[in-house]
Amino acid sequence: MRRLCVFCGSAEGTRPAYADAARALGRELAKRGLGLVYGGGSVGLMGVLADTVLAEGGEVIGVIPGPLASRELAHAGLTELRVVGSMHERKATMARLSDGFVALPGGLGTFEETLEVLTWAQLGIHRKPVGVLNVAGYWDGLEGMLAHAVREGFVRREYAALLLFGTSAPELLDRFAAWRAPAIPRAWLDPSQT
């Protein structure tokens, strides 16, 4: 792995633990020589994460749609800032530049981005690890929702298992380093695999 894409909030949230986790992840990425690809913002957890990686001498590539960049939300001090035309182009560019995906706490955009790359893994569009840094139980609800969907027959157990959970940056990144893409049957293509 050379670079990880991190999805996270444009706010810092109500708990200091969220910004602390973003700093810890930034330090761990730099320590391991992993570049950061993220949404290009200067505010919230996005800004905290980018500033930390930069302060530790790491590479930071931001990808931001033009309308957001023009609102002065773009980080001015990155290794590279790519201004793209749309949110769709942003996500595709971030995915192309990255060897895995991590989600810190965040809002609707973070939820959507995380679930999209998880779905892409299920569909075989990519074979990269996807994980969440479960700070102060922030992602417990998602873990419970996935378990519920498995019990109700809407998500296969092996698809739910594609999402890695970790409570610290070293733990999650160690799981990424050891991760190998599983051979997952595509049940909807071959009913005999159900």
Rg (CA), the chain: 16
Q: What is the pLDDT of residues 27-40, one digit of tens each?
A: 999 999 999 999 99
Query: Mean pLDDT for the chain?
Result: 93
Kindly give the interhelix angle for 16-31 and 44-55, rounded to the nearest 10 degrees: 30
The number of angstroms, rounded, from the C-alpha of 30 to the middle of its chain's C-alpha atoms is: 16
Instruction: Supply the pLDDT for residue 188.
Output: 52
The number of angstroms, rounded, from the C-alpha of 181 to the middle of its chain's C-alpha atoms is: 17
Look at residue 185 and tell me whether its pLDDT is greater than 80.
no
Task: Name every residue whose Cβ is closer than 8 Å to that of residue 29 and which is 6 or more positions away in sequence.
Answer: 4, 35, 36, 53, 58, 169, 173
Instruction: Supply the pLDDT for residue 67.
Output: 87
Q: What is the pLDDT of residues 62-77, one digit of tens each?
A: 999 998 887 758 999 9
State the Cα–Cα distance between residues 105 and 120, nearest whole angstrom: 21
